[in-house]
């Protein structure tokens, strides 16, 4: 059975996922596209033989759509996801699930009322081989109980439109989700310390930032977010436990020895780093939808937590204080296993 | 357009590729299967909704088959490939192209007479990211003119049916193909030196073996083939040129520090090592067939060279002497610009 | 000219340095030893043919002593160092220079009054090859202006006598000195966050601790101190600058592949890690003394800063607050170059 | 007790060892120097307060000399070593022990007749930490019985005076000694295959060369000697056994990430690579001499074997054939328990 996917939002990431669903993932077909820019929708749809629909509501309602992919502008996510839940259709929503914790909660309530999981949020790191190795090592007890995690998230550069708040909202949000999953633990407080900013970029931007998280179990995380590090796209993660540590591998790269130096390439384009993770994410999602199973990826609750924790981190950046994330208790509906 | 593939041979590798063409590669459908064991064909076909055909000739001739995949017993390859050429259908043949150099040459002659390339041989290493990085580095001139290549091909164990000749025929054949491609050069002589054999396995087996190749351009290659190395599946390749060297990366693996040791996993199952390469190989082959393009992967000529060089290597193992590979000159039909 | 060294304190580290000055470093001779435990002094002295003197004052005053090595109990350091300054003799004092910032300042004042540098403090990391490589890379501008430094200091275990305060006083003190030197910058504030403590050791002990330092230039440092990490003695340091980063190398270790694993040894005994650094430290100190030059290693001012910063860090541990180190301005006497 | 060393030969390596015995190694004093160039001897002697003696015989005979260091021109080694044996004095001879196997045998016979070991040959790799780790791993049985060893010996460049024969005589000789020691085995045959030579250097020079050794136990070794590799001084060694492998570590070097690349320095000056090994070699030799013990380093027999095997390798280079090393049986005098 082919899963017929309707795509809401045909910007860069939407087009990328349309390509993925068409060329990379088997068992899926993009049958409908909508976008606030009708021309962009038409171009994207034409490329894969899909129809263009006037808006998200029409797309969710369409008989030609089995499952919905939301890749539109963040502030519109909640509405589309709620529509999909109302229609009882599986929906994959790129992060954020919604731009406010309140909207996220509304989604979780709607989904719980529906009684069956429909929503998956697009945190692709859980599908990365390296992170999966980390989780296996931790879950197998090989490092003992985790105590500390050191992370870094570095981009070569960002455009001038990137703001200091986006370090949490757009960048650290990936670590926030993957840490909660890796540790099977919740983040209860957040703090941001700010080194002097790099002189290489914009005066308005606090970059790098060091974020400090504390979990319910007492694990401490430090996360360096440095989005104008110049040298490359570099994701680091090291979890230290009572008996050992485990470290995320760097991508495999040929070693070259020339002119007094042994060197390996560091990625400079982030799309290369998580391409396989995106492919796996969508392959698993489509397979689950095709099999009529509830999604096993990041849930609406994970989407809520990410939004709430990033919002608290923005507050911490502005206040210079430790900020409690003050997450609601997780409803039993979102328990796993 | 979906490429309809007929599969000749439903053993382990045939089933694996049927799964790949069905679940992993988009744009392909397995529509017909045949096997000398009719029950095995029926099982494999049923799983993907394909028909069973009585034999290779019928399969090649079938209207339901756009392209042929040969995964049958080696000695039958030549016949099926020749049939496909006669039918003007693209054919992907797992190695070896044929078990004798003469049969391989007959295929190249048939294909040249047909006037258009139809044959691709299943040497998947050319699709491995690491080897592609090596080729990029070499082709970009970063190490200068290659002079020496060091290789190792190690398996944890092989079954008792594995013979000393198979070290060349089944194992080193992968290095032989990938070296010719990496270096864009031809192997002109071969020699085998035999260390004492491991006591861990069968008395009949010469294992490890060190193979020494010389290329037309004067590059020297040493290749350790060790198929009962116990510790893992481990593929090494280092090319040394006039100005530097480049080394194949090990697969990325999480680093774990416990009990006085930093360790990373070494694969023990070879299927994990080249899974991505197989996927890419078939993705590119299907895309080419769908686009009506001639195959860009290993050609019938490459299949001939591999068979001739492995045969010379077996002779070298038995004689203890340096053996010339005595390859025919490559017809212009097989030139790549 | 052989430098005749008098050693005050013949405990473990004193004996170790006596051995070093005798067997490893050329140009030195231990001629006198004193210790609060006369028997211990006698044993240590006998081994190298040195005389035993009744106390530090007598040793400093002895005509047989050109230079003084202080390896006694920390609270006695100040007195011995002040004596040496008064006597105009070069003095090497193991850390801490003194146990209070006030005593350290008194030493700096005495030395400045003397008008010539006599004091070197035993922070051996500045003599480690890896740290020297880091400094070269940073000083050469290869990573641009430093912004963030990530450090870890891990021991397999500590004895029950180790207290939470010692994480700063005895352990982090090495990073504190080496960071000031690496960055050529001063630490202005300190904070400690405490993950849940490992269950592997003593209930009284906060372990691990994450220390956060801010420098005058705005560099932010995070330092994980984990003295019961079980797996090994492991020192990590990574400096991130505006254009790149540099990372302390792990000690070179043979790679072993067996049973599905590639592994390298992690030291479990800290003495192996900085043995070469200790040797170099003393070789350079003795050479300087022999040449009549002022010491180039960590100065009394560095000793003061280390004591003041570790004290502030202990306060930060207890208060949970950010604590200013409130260092005095550095007198011109301690300017370098 | 200070060991008074007389040095025969004050060229580069002689001066280097005089410096080492004076500044680095405790318990030694260079008391006499001789050289065919009297001015050079005078300069070297003056620097350390040693006397100049007219020739090797006078130096060996001198009452001021407890032990002899031979660092003169290779063809003169045998005479000096025989003199030292005749005088019953410990003698450290830089490689080669003698330039012909016959002269080496004459030395072993003289030493055996003397009845006590006096001779140590200057193969410093046995004192390198990395090689010692390899030997520990092999001797502990961690890789099982060795079967294959892969080595590379690369220099950035050599001067025009370097000949093709020197690849064996001066360069591979280090691997030949260290392999015999690592494997506790003897080399019985040798072969050389020659890739096309690098175009970067002299037309007269066969460079690189691949040497192939076979041991008595059936271990096979391939050794790439490439003395104009341009990129660095790089020593590689990997021993593969029945159950695993062990690989020589690269020297520890800080990792630097800048501009899309992770890089570590490769040495370009060979003196840095084995400086510590030289220091340890002399420290252990002097300690042994001081203690009146027989030397534990490479023996005269090892010197004989190295000379015989390198001579056979030169013959193999010229003939293109496998050449038996035809070593004499080792006298019981040279057994090590």
Which CATH number goes with the domain that contains A80?
A: 3.40.50.720
pLDDT at A313 over 60: yes
For residues C310 and C187, membership in a common domain is answered with yes
For residues D327 and D236, membership in a common domain is answered with yes
Q: Structural domain tally of chain B?
A: 2
Residue C269 pLDDT class (50, 70, 90 cuts): confident
For residues D46 and D135, membership in a common domain is answered with no
∠ CA C130-A252-A26 to the nearest 5 degrees?
155
* Interface ipTM above 0.90: yes
| Residues from chain A contacting residue C197 (CB–CB below 8 Å) | 147
Q: What is the pLDDT of residue B337?
A: 54
d(CA A302, CA A315): 20
Tens digit of each residue's pLDDT (9 = 90 or more) over B219-230? 999 999 999 999
Residues from A contacting B (CB-CB < 8 Å) are 22-27, 129-130, 133-134, 137, 142-143, 243-259, 264-265, 276
Determine which of C231, C234, C252, C267 to mutate to test the interface with B (most B C-beta atoms within 10 Å): C231
Tens digit of each residue's pLDDT (9 = 90 or more) over A227-275? 999 999 999 999 999 999 999 999 999 999 999 999 999 999 888 899 9
Residue A42 phi, psi (nearest 5): -60, -45
Question: Chain C residue closest to B268 (CA)?
Answer: C260
| Residues from chain C contacting residue A220 (CB–CB below 8 Å) | 193-195, 210
> Do strands A67-70 and A91-94 pair parallel, antiparallel, or not at all (unpaired)?
parallel
Within 10 Å of residue C85's Cβ, how many Cβ atoms?
Answer: 26
Task: Among A25, A130, A245, select the one facing B257 at the smallest CB separation.
Answer: A245
Structure tokens at A99: 């731009």
Cβ within 8 Å, pair A214-C208: no
Cβ within 8 Å, pair D23-C24: no
d(CA D291, CA D288): 5
| Residues from chain B contacting residue A256 (CB–CB below 8 Å) | 137, 142-143, 244-247
Domain that holds residue C150: 126-268+305-334
Question: Chain A residue closest to D155 (CA)?
Answer: A260
Average pLDDT of the segment spanning B6-19 = 97
| Averaged pLDDT of chain A | 96
Within 10 Å of residue A227's Cβ, how many Cβ atoms?
Answer: 22
For residues B319 and B185, membership in a common domain is answered with yes
| Residues from chain A contacting residue D266 (CB–CB below 8 Å) | 257, 260-262
Task: Among A195, A229, A242, select the one facing C199 at the smallest CB separation.
Answer: A242
| Residues from chain D contacting residue C129 (CB–CB below 8 Å) | 252
Tens digit of each residue's pLDDT (9 = 90 or more) over B94-123? 999 999 999 999 999 999 999 999 999 999
pLDDT at D337 over 70: no
Cβ within 8 Å, pair D230-A268: no
For residues D84 and D214, membership in a common domain is answered with no
pLDDT at C337 over 70: no
How far away is chain A from the Cα of C324, in angstroms, using its nearest Cα?
15
Residues from D contacting B (CB-CB < 8 Å) are 144-145, 147-148, 150, 152, 193-200, 208, 210, 212, 214, 217-220, 222, 224, 226, 229-231, 240, 242-245
For residues A11 and A51, membership in a common domain is answered with yes
How far away is chain D from the Cα of A230, in angstroms, using its nearest Cα?
7
Cβ within 8 Å, pair A148-C240: no
Cβ within 8 Å, pair D129-C252: yes
Cβ within 8 Å, pair D242-B200: yes
For residues A245 and A135, membership in a common domain is answered with yes
For residues B95 and B158, membership in a common domain is answered with no
Please spell the DSSP secondary structure of C211-253, one letter per residue: EEEEETT--EEEEEEETT-SS--EEEEEEEESSEEEEPPPPP-
CATH number for the domain including B214? 3.30.360.10
d(CA C88, CA C119): 10
Q: What is the pLDDT of residue C336?
A: 75
**Residue C100: HSE in the Cβ half-sphere, 13 Å Cα cutoff:** 6
Cβ within 8 Å, pair C226-A147: yes
Determine which of B152, B254, B261, B272 to mutate to test the interface with C (most C C-beta atoms within 10 Å): B261
How far away is chain D from the Cα of A290, in angstroms, using its nearest Cα?
41
d(CA C307, CA C301): 10
Structure tokens at A286: 């489509």
B90-119 CB burial, b ≥16 within 10 A, e <16: bbbbbbbbbbebebbbbbbebbbeeeebbb
pLDDT at A201 over 90: no
For residues B104 and B91, membership in a common domain is answered with yes
Within 10 Å of residue D336's Cβ, how many Cβ atoms?
Answer: 7
Are residues A337 and A204 in contact, defined by beta-carbon separation less than 8 angstroms? Answer: no
Percent pLDDT > 70 in chain B is 100
Question: Chain C residue closest to D244 (CA)?
Answer: C258
Task: Among D27, D142, D258, select the one facing C256 at the smallest CB separation.
Answer: D142
d(CA B60, CA B86): 9
Tens digit of each residue's pLDDT (9 = 90 or more) over B177-194? 999 999 999 999 999 999
Average pLDDT of the segment spanning C120-136 = 97
| Residues from chain C contacting residue B230 (CB–CB below 8 Å) | 258-259
Interface partners of chain A (CB pairs < 8 Å, 3 or more) are B, C, D
Cβ within 8 Å, pair D230-B144: yes
| Residues from chain B contacting residue D261 (CB–CB below 8 Å) | none
Q: What is the pLDDT of residue D66?
A: 98
pLDDT at A220 over 60: yes
Tens digit of each residue's pLDDT (9 = 90 or more) over C71-112? 999 999 999 999 999 999 999 999 999 999 999 999 999 999
pLDDT at C290 over 60: yes
| Averaged pLDDT of chain D | 96
Percent pLDDT > 90 in chain C is 97
Residues from D contacting A (CB-CB < 8 Å) are 230-232, 234, 250, 253, 257-268
For residues D252 and D106, membership in a common domain is answered with no
Give CA torsion, residues C19, C23, C24, C29, to 10 deg: 80
Q: What is the pLDDT of residue B34?
A: 98
Q: What is the pLDDT of residue B201?
A: 83
How far away is chain A from the Cα of D154, in angstroms, using its nearest Cα?
12
Question: Chain A residue closest to B244 (CA)?
Answer: A258
Question: Chain D residue closest to A258 (CA)?
Answer: D231
Question: Chain C residue closest to D260 (CA)?
Answer: C244
Average pLDDT of the segment spanning B247-251 = 97
For residues D86 and D33, membership in a common domain is answered with yes
Average pLDDT of the segment spanning D306-313 = 98
Cβ within 8 Å, pair A148-C208: yes
Cβ within 8 Å, pair C230-B257: no
Question: Chain B residue closest to C258 (CA)?
Answer: B231
Tens digit of each residue's pLDDT (9 = 90 or more) over C223-253? 999 999 999 999 999 999 999 999 999 999 9
Q: What is the pLDDT of residue D201?
A: 83
Percent pLDDT > 70 in chain D is 100
| Residues from chain A contacting residue C195 (CB–CB below 8 Å) | 147-148, 218-220
Residues contacting residue C162 through CB under 8 Å, at least 6 positions apart: C170, C205, C227
Determine which of D220, D232, D260 to mutate to test the interface with B (most B C-beta atoms within 10 Å): D220
Are residues C166 and C173 in contact, defined by beta-carbon separation less than 8 angstroms? Answer: no
Are residues B218 and D241 in contact, defined by beta-carbon separation less than 8 angstroms? Answer: no
Task: Among C22, C247, C257, select the one facing D255 at the smallest CB separation.
Answer: C247
Cβ within 8 Å, pair A266-D262: yes
Q: Is C73 helix (H, G, I), strand (E, B) or coil?
A: coil
Task: Among A250, A262, A266, select the one facing D264 at the smallest CB separation.
Answer: A262
Interface partners of chain D (CB pairs < 8 Å, 3 or more) are A, B, C
For residues C130 and C180, membership in a common domain is answered with yes
Tens digit of each residue's pLDDT (9 = 90 or more) over D14-32? 999 999 999 999 999 999 9
Task: Among C259, C260, C264, select the one facing B262 at the smallest CB separation.
Answer: C264
pLDDT at A157 over 90: yes
Task: Among D200, D222, D242, select the one facing B198 at the smallest CB separation.
Answer: D242
Element (DSSP H or E) covering residue A236: strand A234-241
How far away is chain C from the Cα of A150, in angstroms, using its nearest Cα?
9
Residues from B contacting C (CB-CB < 8 Å) are 230-232, 234, 250, 257-268
Average pLDDT of the segment spanning C28-39 = 97
| Residues from chain B contacting residue D150 (CB–CB below 8 Å) | 150, 152, 222, 224
Sign of CA dihedral D318, D323, D328, D334: positive
pLDDT at A337 over 70: no
Tens digit of each residue's pLDDT (9 = 90 or more) over B34-48? 999 999 999 999 999
d(CA A141, CA A242): 10
Question: What is the interface size between B and D, counted as CB pairs within 8 Å?
Answer: 100
Tens digit of each residue's pLDDT (9 = 90 or more) over D103-130? 999 999 999 999 999 999 999 999 999 9
Q: Is B200 helix (H, G, I), strand (E, B) or coil?
A: coil
Q: Please report how the helices A38-48 and A12-19 are oriented relative to each other, as an axis angle in degrees rounded to 10.
A: 10
């Amino acid at each position: 059975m082919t899963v017929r996917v309707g795509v809401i939002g045909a910007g860069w990431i939407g087009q990328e996922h349309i390509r993925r669903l068409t060329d990379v993932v088997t068992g899926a077909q993009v049958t409908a596209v909508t976008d606030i820019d009708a021309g962009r929708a038409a171009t994207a749809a034409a490329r894969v033989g899909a129809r263009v629909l006037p808006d998200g509501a029409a797309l969710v309602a369409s008989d030609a759509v089995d499952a919905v992919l939301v890749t539109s502008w963040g502030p519109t996510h909640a509405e589309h996801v709620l529509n999909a839940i109302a229609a009882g259709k599986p929906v994959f929503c790129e992060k954020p699930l919604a731009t406010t914790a309140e909207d996220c909660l509304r989604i979780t309530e709607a989904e719980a009322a529906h009684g069956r999981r429909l929503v998956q949020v697009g945190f692709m790191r859980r599908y990365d081989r390296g992170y999966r190795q980390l989780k296996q090592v931790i879950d197998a007890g090989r490092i003992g109980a985790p105590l500390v995690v050191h992370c870094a998230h570095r981009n070569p550069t960002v455009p001038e439109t990137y703001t200091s708040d986006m370090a949490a909202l757009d960048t650290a949000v990936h670590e926030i989700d993957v840490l909660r999953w890796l540790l099977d633990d919740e983040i209860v407080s957040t703090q941001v310390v700010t080194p002097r900013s790099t002189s290489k970029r914009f005066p308005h931007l606090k970059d790098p930032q060091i974020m400090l998280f504390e979990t319910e179990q007492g694990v401490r995380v430090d996360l360096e977010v440095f989005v104008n590090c110049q040298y490359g796209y570099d994701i680091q993660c090291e979890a230290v436990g009572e008996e050992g540590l485990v470290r995320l591998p760097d991508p495999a790269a040929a070693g070259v020895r020339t002119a007094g130096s042994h060197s390996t390439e560091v990625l400079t384009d982030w799309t290369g780093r998580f391409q396989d993770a995106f492919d796996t994410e969508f392959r698993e999602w489509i397979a689950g939808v095709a099999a009529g199973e509830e999604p096993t990826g990041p849930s609406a609750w994970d989407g809520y937590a990410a939004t709430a924790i990033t919002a608290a981190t923005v507050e911490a950046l502005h206040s210079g204080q430790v900020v409690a994330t003050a997450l609601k208790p997780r409803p039993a509906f979102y328990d796993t296993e």
